[in-house]
Amino acid sequence: MSSDVRFTDFKSDKQPTWCPGCGDFGTMNGMMKALAETGNDPDNTFVVAGIGCSGKIGTYMHSYALHGVHGRALPVGIGVKMANPNLEVMVAGGDGDGYSIGAGHFIHAVRRNVDMSYVVMDNRIYGLTKGQASPTSREDFETGTTPDGPKQPPVNPKALALSAGATFIAQSFSSDAQRHAEIIQQAIEHDGFGFVNVYSPCVTFNDVDTYDYFRDAIVDLDETDHDPNNRDQAKDKILESDKEYMGVLYQNEDSVPFEQREGIDSSMAEIPDGAPEGAMDLVREFY
């Protein structure tokens, strides 16, 4: 890690193909700022992404990165971190990627509490397939595949996380650059699974959950008396489905990451040139 890393060092020379005004620009800038701010550099950072607009993020950033298959970014990130706990691992995804096809992985990643951060760009719609309902779309949100709305309530990812035993739950808004970067930074610094749901508006297909809507609706938890270490308070806030909060909703400061509990403290990349010393003991066990 070098001390003179700037956030632009995490930028690749590839021009994003996101629509002009897309919330993902702000989300990504905040991720890069937070990584630089926490003393990481591209050579010790691994970014994993899934599929969709959010999945492109690894291409526009400069670090070790893998852009995988839809919904499966979290297991990849867990594998990376467990095999080399010295790496800073950040997983990025979208609401479809994380709460629909990858919902199973999400709650299990939360339970496992590996020390990494998970940033979900939540625009409440499928963008790259041109505007279908996502798991966080409103019940009456009309799209090409749901002309009368999905007619089912949106998932509450923060509630899923809390019930699965999350140790860090936050929410941010991509257009509030300063606060967004701070919140991602807190997720990185958290010892365990740092989950951040980011309101990252889709300017092309979602005309309900817009920048204007979020600007009016958002309440910054820093301006309330919310105590993120208080799980009951967090639960109440999270279950208020008509409220849009920004900030750290819940943090368990006693969290011990999974890999630490499992005693993994060094990279698994180093192996001997032949079988490990004393490997004949493995054979003798079968006497």
Partner 1 sequence: MPEDLNWAIGGEAGDGIDSTGKIFAQALSRAGRHVFTSKDFASRIRGGYTAYKVRTSVDRVESVVDRLDILIALTERTIHENEDELHEDSVIIYDGERSTMQDVEVPHGATALEVPLKRLAEDAGGAIMLNVVALGAACEVTSFPIENLDESLQKRFGDKGEAIVENNKQAARMGQEYVQEEYDQSFDYSMETTDADYVLLNGDEAIGMGAIAAGCRFYSGYPITPATDVMEYMTGRVDQYGGKVVQAEDELSAINMALGAARAGARAMTATSGPGIDLMTETFGLVATSETPLVICDVMRSGPSTGMPTKQEQGDLNMTLYGGHGEIPRFVVAPTTVSECFWKTVEAFNLAEKYQTPVFLVSDLAMAVTEQTFSPETFDMDEVEIDRGKVVDEDEIDAWLDEQGRFQAHFPAADGVSPRAFPGTADGAHMTTGLEHDELGRRTEDTDVRIEQVDKRQRKVETAREQENFDYREFGDPDADTLVLSWGSNEGAMREGLELLDEEGYDVRFVSVPYIFPRPDLTDEVAAAEKVIVVECNATGQFADIVEHDVLERVERINKYNGVRFKADELATEVKQTIDSDSGTQEVEAE
**Least distance CB 136 / partner 1 (angstroms):** 22
**Least distance CB 41 / partner 1 (angstroms):** 8
Is residue 40 at the binding interface for partner 1, with CB under 8 A as the rule?
Answer: no
**Least distance CB 96 / partner 1 (angstroms):** 16
Q: Six-digit token pair at 251?
A: 């943090």
Is residue 86 at the binding interface for partner 1, with CB under 8 A as the rule?
Answer: yes
**Least distance CB 277 / partner 1 (angstroms):** 9
Length of the chain: 287
Closer to partner 1 by CB, 116 or 198: give it: 116
**Least distance CB 243 / partner 1 (angstroms):** 31
List all residues 6 or more positions away from 8 whose beta carbon is below 8 Å from its beta carbon.
Answer: 32
> Which span sits near partner 1 by CB under 8 A: 45-53, 170-178, 183-191, 243-251?
45-53
Kindly report the CA angle at 180 between 111 and 103, in degrees rounded to 5? 30
Q: Give, to the nearest 10 degrees, the angle between helix 103-112 and helix 73-83.
A: 30
Out of 22, 87, 196, 248, the residue judged to bind partner 1 by CB under 8 A = 87
Is residue 269 at the binding interface for partner 1, with CB under 8 A as the rule?
Answer: yes
Task: Report 161-180 residues binding partner 1 (CB under 8 A).
Answer: none
Measured CA to CA, the distance from residue 199 to residue 121 in angstroms comes to 6
Closer to partner 1 by CB, 67 or 231: give it: 67
Binding mask 47-66 for partner 1 (x = CB under 8 A): -x-------x-xx--xxxxx
187, 194 Cβ separation under 8 angstroms:
yes
Measured CA to CA, the distance from residue 183 to residue 170 in angstroms comes to 7
Query: Quick one: CA dihedral 227, 115, 161, 210, positive or negative?
Result: positive
Task: Report 65-84 residues binding partner 1 (CB under 8 A).
Answer: 65-69, 72, 74-84
**Least distance CB 170 / partner 1 (angstroms):** 24
Is residue 264 at the binding interface for partner 1, with CB under 8 A as the rule?
Answer: yes
Eight-class DSSP state of 244: E
**Least distance CB 278 / partner 1 (angstroms):** 9
Tell which residue, 43, 102, 106, 108, has the closest CA to residue 68.
102
- Residue 169 backbone zone (phi > 0: left; psi -120 to 50: alpha; other: beta): beta
Is residue 273 at the binding interface for partner 1, with CB under 8 A as the rule?
Answer: yes
**Least distance CB 114 / partner 1 (angstroms):** 10
219, 229 Cβ separation under 8 angstroms:
no
Binding mask 90-109 for partner 1 (x = CB under 8 A): --------------xx--x-
Q: Give, to the nearest 10 degrees, the angle between helix 23-37 and helix 177-189.
A: 50
49, 92 Cβ separation under 8 angstroms:
yes
Residue ranges in contact with partner 1 by CB under 8 A: 12-14, 42-46, 48, 56, 58-59, 62-69, 72, 74-84, 86-87, 104-105, 108, 262-264, 266-269, 271-276, 279-280, 282-284, 286-287
